[in-house]
A and B are shown apart, each in its own frame.
Chain A
Amino acid sequence: MIDALIYGALILLLIATAIGMARTRSLFAVVALGGIYSFLMALALLVLDAVDVSMTEASVGAGISTVLLLGTLYLTRLHETLPIRLSPAPLAMSVITGLALLYGVVHLPPFGDPSTPMHRHVAPRYLEDVVRETGVPNAVTAVLASYRGYDTLGETTVIFTAGIGVLLLLRRRRRQPSDGKDKAGR
């Protein structure tokens, strides 16, 4: 009961923060509000008992994301330029996407419903056998690293690829300081 109240309050605050971010034109302010959004998100995930996800959100959102966004701001400009005229196509596109997502959410099973296939087929086996098979009490870690080891290998490779991509892009630019784009960005 009280958890539902806290969760509702946090969701309202999250929506308010998102609207505030959309309405703010100074990108610095958006970075600061993004930090607030991340705090609230970690709290909401904690209330939902998703401890590991909340920990990830906390560790990434509290520091690193702000630093990386500031680094990006340094390379671009600090204000969002308003579009000259209102174009209806992107608006219609986002409205349609939002409605489709809402339609999908309506048909999700209730939160924590034990009769869903997810809770009847794979999850009980993991939860019952995890300590006997792996000796690791935290089922999330065991699923990530052992039962679903291939997926995590893929994720690690994705992070690796992202790092390599950023390094390649930003490095090549630095070696050619007389590049036309670099001057335009000054």
Chain B
Amino acid sequence: MFAAAVAALVVAIALVLVRGFLGPTVYDRVLAANTIGTLAVGLMAAHGFLNDRPEFLDIALVYALLNVLSTLAILKFFRFGSLGDPEGIEPPPTEPRR
């Protein structure tokens, strides 16, 4: 049963990874990265149960807590053009094409 969950999660990661490669805009890639982070949390938990060592949930917790940081950093970067100042006056960087 845990093997089924692990298999489903690995397949889902592979599918989302394809979107990460294709993703025309950078947002698609960030969405793919964020989703893979969430799937990795599930995969870590399921793998821990598969091997009867569920104490490895600590790593999954690290991911669940820290995964939001990169997305928020990218939001900051695109909206204000800098990482520190919420009211940055400089224009944001040019939009990257694929």
Whether A39 sits at the interface, judged by CB under 8 Å, is yes
Query: A70-129: which residues lie under 8 A (CB-CB) from chain B?
Result: 70-71, 73-74, 78-79
Interface size class of A (residues with CB under 8 A): 35 or more
Query: A14-44: which residues lie under 8 A (CB-CB) from chain B?
Result: 16-17, 20, 24, 26-29, 32-33, 35-36, 39-40, 42-43
Q: How far is the CB of A107 from chain B (nearest CB, A)?
A: 29
Cβ-defined contact, A32 with B73, below 8 A? no
| Partner of B67 from A26, A43, A55, A62 at Cβ < 8 Å | A62
Cβ-defined contact, A43 with B44, below 8 A? yes
Query: B44-98: which residues lie under 8 A (CB-CB) from chain A?
Result: 44, 47, 50-51, 56, 58-59, 62-63, 66-67, 69-70, 73-74, 77, 81-83, 93-94, 96-98
Nearest to B44 among chain A residues (CB) is: A46
Nearest to B93 among chain A residues (CB) is: A78
Interface size class of B (residues with CB under 8 A): 35 or more
> CA separation between A51 and B61, bound complex, in Å?
13
Q: How far is the CB of A38 from chain B (nearest CB, A)?
A: 9
Known A-B contacts A9-B10, A55-B62, A70-B77; the reply to A63 vs B70 at CB < 8 A is yes
> CA separation between A174 and B72, bound complex, in Å?
26
* Residues in chain A near residue B32, CB distance under 8 A: 32, 36
Residues of B at the A interface (CB closer than 8 Å) are 3, 6, 10, 13-14, 17, 20-21, 23, 26, 29-30, 32-33, 36-37, 40, 43-44, 47, 50-51, 56, 58-59, 62-63, 66-67, 69-70, 73-74, 77, 81-83, 93-94, 96-98
Residues of A at the B interface (CB closer than 8 Å) are 2-3, 6, 9-10, 13, 16-17, 20, 24, 26-29, 32-33, 35-36, 39-40, 42-43, 46-47, 51, 54-55, 58-59, 62-64, 66-67, 70-71, 73-74, 78-79
Given A29-B29, A39-B36, A63-B69: 19 more A-B contacts, CB < 8 Å: A6-B10, A26-B97, A27-B96, A28-B74, A39-B37, A42-B59, A43-B40, A58-B62, A62-B37, A64-B69, A66-B70, A66-B74, A67-B73, A70-B77, A70-B83, A73-B77, A74-B93, A78-B96, A79-B96
